[in-house]
């Protein structure tokens, strides 16, 4: 609840106005039955037209005021809840944007999406009804009870019996339903994960004829969520009949006893009518409260889940006093006895890695699958923090640098080419938002993407579909490379970024890159020996250990692991 109260501060004025309008509306609702009772008790005759008109106009005025205050309160409470939901989604998204890869892996993409959308929606819905209920329910309960007792003290025991009985029904129901709502949100995460994998992996699913298998996975997750939802709904369904039974029984009792008292002259017909209306207001307010209390358990689970996201401190954060590299040093990368393990892992992924990459050099990293190549370069832009040792850029430990400043020095091309929905030009400008058309075109030319872009009907304005499914893998890779090149950074990181390129395109791209990268540091992760052979230095990794460092010729003489990799890919005449 503190999560909600803290973030409602900007809406204090709107909340205050809502409360005033609701309070006014409730008072007017309490006034109407009493007014009707007085009219009936006075016994105004048919000939007393003036009195009838006066009282009728008064009732019309009260009704119009009720309608006006209800309209204003509904409008303001809606504005408050919608604005709160918008702000909470924005804050959650901003928090997630600051997560390191460790936190994203911890919660999972599907769960973070659910928390930002569905969970925020649950809290927003609670707020919409909660603002109205917190005023109407207490006022109707207290005010209605006082007015009802004042009108018919002899029947007040009915109210004193009904209120605790209804409260007991609501309390038992909430206790039984709350655990199920927590399970429901977890199963909704699972359903979203299965759906996301189905949509993003459509090509693989169809290629392996696994449509029926994925349909079964989705059906199982869907049935699991549905079963839990039905179980919760069945338990909640008992509340409405139970409360209706109590209400109807109370009304029958009032009419039965009240009619006898009215007939005996102990109670007037106007007072009986007013008591009946007050009883209905009291019981309806309890009904409304029970509906809101049904929402509270699920919203409480959502608040907890959102709170976990907002309270989670990123494992990678900026230091209090960031350091800046010294003037004149641009692009130097050094690893000094770096050891890294993923959270919860028993063994380190990288163990005691040390090397340097200087401006103007190309350093390649090669090794078998799972040897830690991608993990190693992900430490440079500080996607993860190391366990021991230091990773330095321009002589400063990356943990002591501002993350924005650090990454501004880096042009990063990931292993999986990720492009965003939008034009090709917008995707290339992602690396440099203020790049002009000439810079965008030049970056595309160097990346060997200019030919296929110009061949498109709209050229650089051609729109990419979601996940860039309307271009080939090689084209996606070249656009990703252009996105890094347009930045003209001090450090280029290519994480197996040439794997979808043929040898001719690969060679042309490297030749075109040389003039603009001659003063930059280039780090290349590759599986193909032909990609790394011309590098100034080659780092050979084997199960997280650096087993070789040198040029191609040096490693052929000194590193058995490298020789095995070369022998597995090249013919003898190529090796020679």
Nearest-angstrom CA–CA distance, 82 and 89: 11
- pLDDT at position 562 over 50: yes
Q: What is the band of 42 on the pLDDT scale with cuts at 50, 70, 90?
A: low
- pLDDT at position 270 over 60: yes
Q: Which helix (H) or strand (E) holds 371?
A: none
Q: Which two tokens stand for residue 368?
A: 């078998």
Q: Considering just the CA atoms, what is the radius of gyration of the chain in Å?
A: 35
pLDDT attached to residue 336:
92
Tell me the mean pLDDT in the region 282-290. Answer: 77
Nearest-angstrom CA–CA distance, 381 and 399: 10
- pLDDT at position 573 over 50: no
By three-state DSSP, how is residue 397 classified?
strand
Residue showing tokens 């025991």: 157
Task: Return the minimum-mean-pLDDT range out of 265-279, 298-312, 373-387.
Answer: 265-279
The second-level CATH assignment, the architecture, of 2-311 is: Up-down Bundle (1.20)
Q: What is the band of 322 on the pLDDT scale with cuts at 50, 70, 90?
A: confident
Residue showing tokens 């892992």: 345
pLDDT attached to residue 47:
57
pLDDT tens figures, 483-536: 999 989 999 998 888 777 777 887 888 888 888 888 889 999 988 887 888 888
Whether the Cβ atoms of residue 556 and residue 562 lie closer than 8 Å to each other: yes
Averaged pLDDT score across all residues of the chain: 82
Q: What percent of the chain has pLDDT over 90?
A: 10
- pLDDT at position 69 over 60: yes
Main-chain phi, psi angles of 289, to 5 degrees = -65, -40
pLDDT attached to residue 576:
47
Tell me the mean pLDDT in the region 217-242. Answer: 82
pLDDT attached to residue 70:
80
Q: State how beta strands 410-413 and 491-495 pair.
A: parallel
- pLDDT at position 575 over 60: no
- Axis crossing angle, helix 211-237 with helix 156-200, rounded to the nearest 10: 170
**Who contacts 244 (Cβ-Cβ below 8 Å, separation ≥6)?**
none
CA dihedral 407, 413, 417, 418 (to 10 degrees): 10
Would you give the DSSP letter of residue 570?
S
> 6 vs 9, 86, 134, 303, CA distance in Å?
6, 15, 18, 13
Q: State how beta strands 422-423 and 463-464 pair.
A: antiparallel
Q: How many C-beta neighbours within 10 Å does residue 5 have?
A: 8
3-state secondary structure 498-555: CCCCCHHHHHHHHHHHHHHHCCCEEEEECCCHHHHCCCCEEEEEECCEEEEEECHHHH
Tell me the mean pLDDT in the region 542-569. Answer: 88
* Model confidence, pTM: 0.73
Nearest-angstrom CA–CA distance, 28 and 33: 9
Residue showing tokens 């109205």: 132
pLDDT attached to residue 335:
93
Q: What is the band of 193 on the pLDDT scale with cuts at 50, 70, 90?
A: confident
3-state secondary structure 427-461: HHHCCCCCCCHHHHHHHHHHCCCHHHHHCCCCHHH
Strand positions, DSSP E, 207-332? none
Tell me the mean pLDDT in the region 449-457. Answer: 88
| Nearest residue to 197 (alpha-carbon basis) of 309, 116, 109, 93 | 109
pLDDT attached to residue 203:
65
How wide is the angle at C-alpha 256 spanned by C-alphas 255 and 261, nearest 5°?
Answer: 90
What does the domain layout of the chain look like in residue ranges?
2-311, 322-409+531-576
Q: What is the band of 46 on the pLDDT scale with cuts at 50, 70, 90?
A: low
pLDDT tens figures, 376-430: 999 999 988 888 999 999 889 999 998 888 888 899 988 888 888 888 899 999 8
**CATH topology classification for 322-409+531-576:** Rossmann fold (3.40.50)
- pLDDT at position 4 over 80: no
- pLDDT at position 338 over 90: yes
pLDDT attached to residue 363:
92
Whether the Cβ atoms of residue 513 and residue 462 lie closer than 8 Å to each other: no
Q: What is the band of 143 on the pLDDT scale with cuts at 50, 70, 90?
A: confident
pLDDT attached to residue 572:
46
Tell me the mean pLDDT in the region 98-107. Answer: 84
Strand positions, DSSP E, 332-445? 333-340, 350-357, 362-367, 388-393, 396-397, 410-413, 422-423
b/e per residue 135-169 (b: at least 16 CB within 10 A) = bbbebbbebbbebbbebbeebbebbeebbebbeeb
Instruction: Give burial (CB, 10 Å; 0-12/13-18/19+) of 109.
Output: middle
Please tell me which residue, 131 or 574, carries the higher pLDDT value.
131
Nearest-angstrom CA–CA distance, 281 and 274: 11
| End-to-end C-alpha distance for the chain, whole angstroms | 72
């Amino acid at each position: 609840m503190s999560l909600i109260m803290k973030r409602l501060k900007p809406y204090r004025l709107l909340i205050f106005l809502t409360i005033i309008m609701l309070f006014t509306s409730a008072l007017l609702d309490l006034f109407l039955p009493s007014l009707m009772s007085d009219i009936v008790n006075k016994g105004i005759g048919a000939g007393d037209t003036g009195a009838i008109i006066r009282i009728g106009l008064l009732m019309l005025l009260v009704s119009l005021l009720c309608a006006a205050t209800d309209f204003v309160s509904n409008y303001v409470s809606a504005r408050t809840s919608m604005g709160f939901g918008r702000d909470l989604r924005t804050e959650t998204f901003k928090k997630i944007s600051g997560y390191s890869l460790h936190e994203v892996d911890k919660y999972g993409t599907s769960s973070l999406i659910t928390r930002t959308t569905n969970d925020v929606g649950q809290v927003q819905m609670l707020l919409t009804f909660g603002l109205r209920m917190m005023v109407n329910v207490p006022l109707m309960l207290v005010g209605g009870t006082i007015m009802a007792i004042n009108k018919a003290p002899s029947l007040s025991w009915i109210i004193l019996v009904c209120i605790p009985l209804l409260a007991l029904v609501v309390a038992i129901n909430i206790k039984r339903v709350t655990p199920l709502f927590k399970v429901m949100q977890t199963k909704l995460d699972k359903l979203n994960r299965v759906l996301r994998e189905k949509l993003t992996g459509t090509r693989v699913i169809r290629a392996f004829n696994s449509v029926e298998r994925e349909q079964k996975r989705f059906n199982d997750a869907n049935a699991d969520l549905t079963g839990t939802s039905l179980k919760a709904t069945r338990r909640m369904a008992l509340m409405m009949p139970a409360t209706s039974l109590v209400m109807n029984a109370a009304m029958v009792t009032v009419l039965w006893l009240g009619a006898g008292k009215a007939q005996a002259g102990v109670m007037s017909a106007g007072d009986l009518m007013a008591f009946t209306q007050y009883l209905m207001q009291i019981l309806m307010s309890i009904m409304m409260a029970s509906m809101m209390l049904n929402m509270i358990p699920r919203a409480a689970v959502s608040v907890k889940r959102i709170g976990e996201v907002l309270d989670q401190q990123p494992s990678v954060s900026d230091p209090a006093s960031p350091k800046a590299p010294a003037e004149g040093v641009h692009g130097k990368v050094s690893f000094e006895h770096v050891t890294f393990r993923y959270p919860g892992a028993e063994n380190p992924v990288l163990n005691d890695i040390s090397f340097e990459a200087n401006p103007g050099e190309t350093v390649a990293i090669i090794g078998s699958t799972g040897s830690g190549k991608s993990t190693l370069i992900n430490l440079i832009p500080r996607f993860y923090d190391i366990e021991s040792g230091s990773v330095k850029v321009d002589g400063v430990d990356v943990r002591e640098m501002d993350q924005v400043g650090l990454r501004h020095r880096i042009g990063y091309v990931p292993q999986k080419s990720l492009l965003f929905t939008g034009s090709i030009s917008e995707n290339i400008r992602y690396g440099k938002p203020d790049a002009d058309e000439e810079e965008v075109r030049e970056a595309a030319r160097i990346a060997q993407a200019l030919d296929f872009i110009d061949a498109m009907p709209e050229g650089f304005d051609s729109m990419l579909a979601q996940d860039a499914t309307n271009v080939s893998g090689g084209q996606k890779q070249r656009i990703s490379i252009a996105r890094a090149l347009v930045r003209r950074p001090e450090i280029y990181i290519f994480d197996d970024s040439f794997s979808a390129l043929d040898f001719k395109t690969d060679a042309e791209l490297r030749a075109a890159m040389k003039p603009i990268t001659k003063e930059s540091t280039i780090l290349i992760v590759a599986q193909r020996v032909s990609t790394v052979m011309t590098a100034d230095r080659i780092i050979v990794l084997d199960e997280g250990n650096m087993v070789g460092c040198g040029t191609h010729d040096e490693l052929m003489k000194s590193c058995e692991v490298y020789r095995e990799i070369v022998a597995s890919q090249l013919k003898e005449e190529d090796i020679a």
